[in-house]
Structure 1
Amino acid sequence: MVREQTVLATSYPQSYYAASANDARARPPLLGHVKADICIIGAGFTGMSTALHMAENGYNVVVLEANRIGFGASGRNGGQIVNSYSRDIDFIERQYGQKVGAEMGRMAFEGGRILRRFIKDYGIQCDLKEGGIFAACNRKQFDELVEKKKLWEKHGHEQLELLDAHAIQQYVGTERYAGGLIDHSGGHFHPLNLVRGEADAVESLGGTIYEESPALHVREGDKPVVHTEQGSVEADYVLVAGNAYLNGLLPELESKAIPCGTQIITTEPLPERVQRRLLPKDNCVEDCNYLLDYFRLSGDGRLVYGGGVTYGAREPAKIEALIVPKMLRTFPELKDTKVDFAWTGNFLLTLTRLPQFGRIGTNIYYAQGYSGHGLTCTHLAGKVISDAIQGQAERFDIFASLPQHSFPGGRRLQVPLTAMGAWYYNLRDRLGI
């Protein structure tokens, strides 16, 4: 079977992350035919975590990236370590049973530990800072955070602390919130520097990464072959890890998820006194709305503020016009602050809002659809996929057992139906119901 894909233009978006990357050196494209134990399509967090786990176990790894390392969501996101999944463990238990819920609960807090190990073991400089806050915009959301704390503690996660409306102001300099929940195992970092640091680690262990080498088609078989414009890779295993940036490589997966854009701005560097007033303990924050806001301070003292969703990967014409009002609703004192960077990036939303893992045949794996909750789960995915390839597939099979529903109406109706659903939940957030 041949799977077609269009060739993409290559360059990083004009983001703060690209402008402040530690090392933006390019890798060459693939030229000619090579062999590997595993060929990974996509050099984002899923691909790099899998590549690093495989290389640590002595496998010959080749990674193909259509653009640059971290070009997609992995190099554009809010940079926040948020545990669990976009749908929490209680939803999984209700829908898919106690056994699946318990297994997913055991894995829900592992991804953050994996990425911290990578940072420590390979000396990756990515401005890692500790502590993440869920901020409740109303009493209903605070009550839900009380239940979240109980739920996560039931599954063994103890690093949590509730904050009432007064206490949260010691962490976030605004009167906007009715309370919050600190996850002391959360945190934040420069995501592009992390994924590029992981790429360096893969190469230090003998792996090879080719940039500007989009996979044009995959020939299935006992030894699948991935073809690019100027070369090919023959491997024992293939992992497809392009997420929202596959552009037709696996058409049968496209009906199961929809690309969505989120927008981020970054201010000019703020005076230290302003930084201390906005985020006195330098935690990252996300609110509890369905269409949530998220923000943090960068390593050089800028406010990184994101929020909103555009469906169908549409890029809005004026990102600042969408995000600055959100920032000023939280921090009105920044009304005269200059915005230095504004960009958008795509994530992949599934109907269940749970990630989609699976196999095509016996030796082509895929992982996608983290639904805006990918920083930790992508790192977990790398470990789970690596274990499965090495013969320990129990945890992979738990993920693969989750239903992968197609969106009703196919591609034509995905965007309007999803936008209607988002409008409904946004209205509920506004009304506090």
Structure 2
Amino acid sequence: MPRKVYVVGVGMTKFVKPGTQGDYPDYAKVAVLDALADAKIKYDDIQQAVCGYVFGDSTCGQRVLYQVGMTGIPIYNVNNNCSSGSNAIFLCKQLIEGGLIDVALAVGFEKMKPGKLGNAIFEDRADPLGRHIAKMGEMTKVLDGPLTPQYFGNAGAEHMQKYGTTEVHLAKIAAKNYRHGAKNPRAQSKKEYTVEEILNSRRIYGPLTKLECCPTSDGAGAAVLMSEEAVIKYGLQDRAVEIIGQEMATDTPALFAEKSLMKVAGTDMTALAAKRIYAKTGISPKQVDVVELHDCFATNEMITYEGLQLCGVGQAGKFIDAGDNTYGGQVVVNPSGGLIAKGHPLGATGLAQCAELCWQLRGEAGNRQVKDARIALQHNLGLGGAVVITMYKKGFSNVQPHSVAEKSKL
């Protein structure tokens, strides 16, 4: 039987504009120390560590952790594009679940360049996303300039054409995230914007305006994971948040076999991982209280509602219009402000999502607290591709999720 795995400590820096808070070893160290303090343990208690980042040389993880301690433990460095932080959590969970270790540290960090996100770093070898670009080019013109808004802008345009969603729906998503982010002291943006201001901001690509795109950011996050035996040993039952389900998926053959711009943006792997996690946990999407999902662009949040089964296929517009994605609705999505308001230092995002959901489940989220949050869902996507979906449960033992009937009464 796989062992139970818990998150017992989290840490996260404020996410900021690139180049405004020093270098990655500095702020990554802060996140690690905060996670250790939150877990009430020392670095010497960590048995293995996994570090996620996208832009950096091969042993950035060691550069960060050697400042905290040099205990000779295995330290792994992982890069799976924007899902790298959740990949770190995924690997730590597997190490504990499989009985190899009892205490692990997951770290995610990023130091980015100011301005828009560029394309391929290396020009003397194949682009990892080369086949994705070619597939997109079969369906629409690929323009010069950044590719990420093209991937997700085209995906949103396809959804609009198929299901009648509009640019107003995208602006409502962004306005909701800025409204949430204004309550998050660690968010990069503290300003609220109206739907009209978002629609009238500079056009970036297709249906996307500037205020519907996440900013480049610097920042770090960390989490301490333990086995059930370790939680009891260290007396952390009151702080433990159980990972009751976690699924990682990559692209399916349909990406290249079919003509769909949404599939190029990762919808198939999100749907696959979501289907698996609900089946394995027995938890219904309607029982989820709070979600942190990968809103690198407002279009991706819109199509991800359907991939995570928060609403039916083609029903995202109605879901948004009904306010079912925020406080007072069916489920609170991105109470942190999401990537759009909180920021998106690529390798740190998965750990920041984990931290937010742990705070929510422990009742420590302050004025953005989701009432009676018991079940939380995390979605972290990287093109090229990989997605990690994680489900968390409040409490150490015998805490059941809200039933659908219970949630309707709240």
Q: TM-score, normalised by structure 1?
A: 0.30
Q: When you count helix as a share of all residues, which structure comes out higher?
A: 2
Between structure 1 and structure 2, the one with the greater Rg is 1
Q: When you count strand as a share of all residues, which structure comes out higher?
A: 1
Q: TM-score, normalised by structure 2?
A: 0.31
